[in-house]
């Protein structure tokens, strides 16, 4: 059974947003919302119930409010505590992976150099979010 999944993308890099958009629009059962340069506003919208994503794709390295700050704010919102979060970042630092896992992310993906590989990983992530089969 396929149901529509709402994906909130927190990504400030235009090239990465374009690639993510390309992957997500291929699936007619995906609705994507982008918080390009204002993840702090996305937190407000989540807290006020204006956004109801099933999955959040989260970059770590962003200006103003980084991904960890966003994640901490997200987990303080009662309705968002169990929301699936996938970190999609260039950082392979062990500290970043540990901090993300401590804050309950479902998956930590270091952005691959290959666009084809990133597309494949994102397609898998959407399917895992839809079916709840993380790590399978």
Q: How many CA atoms lie within 13 A of 118 on its CB side?
A: 21
Which fold would CATH assign to domain 5-131?
Rossmann fold (3.40.50)
Residue 43: per-residue pLDDT: 92
Residue 17: per-residue pLDDT: 86
Residue 124: per-residue pLDDT: 87
* pTM for the full predicted model: 0.91
* Separation CA 92–CA 54 (nearest Å): 25
Residue 87: per-residue pLDDT: 94
Residue 135: per-residue pLDDT: 61
> pLDDT of the chain along its 136 residues, tens only?
457 889 999 998 888 888 888 888 888 889 999 886 678 889 999 999 999 999 999 999 887 788 899 999 999 999 998 899 999 998 999 999 999 988 889 999 998 888 888 888 888 888 888 887 776 5
Residue 56: per-residue pLDDT: 95
Closest CA to 51 of 38, 60, 64: 38
What are the distances in angstroms from CA 43 to CA 12, 19, 48, 100, 118?
15, 24, 9, 17, 26
């Amino acid at each position: 059974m396929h149901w529509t999944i709402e994906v909130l993308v927190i990504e400030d890099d235009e090239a990465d947003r374009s690639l993510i958009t390309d992957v997500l629009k291929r699936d007619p059962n995906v609705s994507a919302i982008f918080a390009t340069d204002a993840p702090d506003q996305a937190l407000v919208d989540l807290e006020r119930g204006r956004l109801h994503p099933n999955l959040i794709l989260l970059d770590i390295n962003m200006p103003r409010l980084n991904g960890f700050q966003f994640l901490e704010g997200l987990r303080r919102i009662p309705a968002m505590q169990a929301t699936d979060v996938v970190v999609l970042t260039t950082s392979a630092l062990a500290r970043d992976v540990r901090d993300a896992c401590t804050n309950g992310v479902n998956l930590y993906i270091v952005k691959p150099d290959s666009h084809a590989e990133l597309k494949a990983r994102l397609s898998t992530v959407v399917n895992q979010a839809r079916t709840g089969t993380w790590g399978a």
